[in-house]
Amino acid sequence: MGYRVLIYSLAGRKQDYGPSSLWARSYRLDEIEPNLVEETNLGLFIGLIQTVGRRLGVPRVWQYALLKSGLVPRRLKRALKEADIILSDLPWCPPVRGPWRNKPWFLVSHNLEYSLLAQEGALHRRFSRWMFGVERAAPQVYSDIFSCAEEDRDFFRVHDAGSRLALPIIRCGVDPRGYVVPAGTREAVRAGLGLSDSDTLLVFSGSRFGPNLDALAWLREFCSAEAEFLLRHRIYVLVLGSMVAKPERSGALIATGRVPATEPYFAASDAGLNPITRGSGSNVKLFEYLAARLPVISTEFGVRGTELRPEVDYLGYEQAGLRATLERFVTIRSREQWREFAEAVWARHRSGCDIGELVRDAIAKVPGFPAP
């Protein structure tokens, strides 16, 4: 859109640290594409705090406290000084004190963090009320707030004294151009998985996120209990992404572990499965399934934050009814008919899935959003 964007990451991944880190540069720059650069702070102090927090299972309170106090890396301060627009990714990244505080500063809210904390273990629940206060105060702290779903937007609207903000929604869209794969990709991936064209493959994609892991645990039980049914109908469930540490296979359930790209696996699949029953915000996986032209099989909770309608746009089910829904999927339409169905759904909902269109529409609703 003409903006030059710097993503500043406060800490790296586990593999970024090691004995050599003592003598390496304290940051890394990665040019993702023209005008889009990520800078990752690799300072050992913050890396150590992050590691200890994760080992103890503590939410990112340390990150909030660090940024709120202004004890941030020198290069982050330089980036804030040079920026025309600043966006905080999640409420764990509050505005930093300094001369840049009067610049346009927006919050990108992926979900209501206090709600997620309340759904986790006792340690996380202790911080839920505190985070509720942080998010409740957000409309007075930021120039505006971009939410991913109506539920979240409505929360901020209730706490927006004087209705000061526009509060536009940016759904968890994707770039549809990224889901076009070379000819033969489907066949190659399915062969690598040991599947023939007669097998039906359902993909469930996601990261090691609490709601995803809960859904995976339930899917394991389902695949075990319904092993004969799944075998008879030649149905397989592909668990795609870092929900599991390494590849594994058990009956109808196939797990990849972390992969370099998800799009080839979408191309190899016959439907996108979303078994999520808790969480907040909306699920990126739904928009990926749609962009990959996959028919969607989802719980009602899983389609929150979208405009998808049951039966018209997706097959809905609740946990007790998954077997019956899968039986419907393999009998009511042929594979080619399901592809036509998915194309028609994409045609109806593209404007609500294309991240470029979503962002342009959202910033157009924010008075005085600086132009590039």
Q: Does residue 279 register a pLDDT over 90?
A: no
Do the domain assignments include residue 196? Answer: yes
Give the pLDDT confidence of 323-372 residue by residue, as tens digits. Answer: 999 999 999 999 999 999 999 999 999 988 999 999 999 999 998 788 88
188 and 324 housed in the same domain? yes
Reduced to 3 states (helix: H, G, I; strand: E, B; else coil), residue 276 is coil
Give the pLDDT confidence of 65-115 residue by residue, as tens digits. Answer: 999 999 999 999 999 999 999 999 999 999 999 999 999 999 999 989 999
Instruction: Tell me the C-alpha distance between 109 and 165, whole Å.
Output: 14
Residue 359 vs residues 9, 108, 172, 248: alpha-carbon distances, Å: 22, 12, 10, 38
203 and 132 housed in the same domain? no
18 and 40 housed in the same domain? yes
Q: What DSSP designation does 275 have?
A: -
157 and 224 housed in the same domain? no
Instruction: Tell me the C-alpha distance between 198 and 109, whole Å.
Output: 42
pLDDT number for residue 23: 59
The CA angle 109-111-116, to the nearest 5 degrees, is 135
Instruction: Tell me the C-alpha distance between 132 and 143, whole Å.
Output: 19
Do the domain assignments include residue 250? Answer: yes
Instruction: Tell me the C-alpha distance between 38 and 45, whole Å.
Output: 20
Do the domain assignments include residue 197? Answer: yes
Q: 56: which 2 tokens?
A: 């103890």
For residue 75, give the H/E element and its range.
helix 74-82
Q: Does residue 281 register a pLDDT over 80?
A: no
pLDDT number for residue 24: 66
Do the domain assignments include residue 372? Answer: no
In the chain, the largest separation of any two C-alpha atoms, in whole Å, equals: 66
Q: What is the mean pLDDT of the chain?
A: 93
Q: Does residue 234 register a pLDDT over 70?
A: yes
Q: Does residue 19 register a pLDDT over 80?
A: no
Do the domain assignments include residue 369? Answer: no
Instruction: Tell me the C-alpha distance between 50 and 60, whole Å.
Output: 8
Alpha-helical regions (H) of 200-277: 210-225, 227-233, 263-268
pLDDT number for residue 21: 56
Cβ atoms of 24 and 42 within 8 Å: the answer is yes
79 and 99 housed in the same domain? yes
pLDDT number for residue 209: 83
Cβ atoms of 203 and 272 within 8 Å: the answer is yes
Instruction: Tell me the C-alpha distance between 303 and 171, whole Å.
Output: 12
Cβ count near 192 (within 10 Å): 11
Please tell me the total count of domains within the chain.
Answer: 2
Section 56-73 average pLDDT: 93
Question: In which domain, by residue range, is 301 found?
Answer: 176-353
Q: 118: which 2 tokens?
A: 């309340």
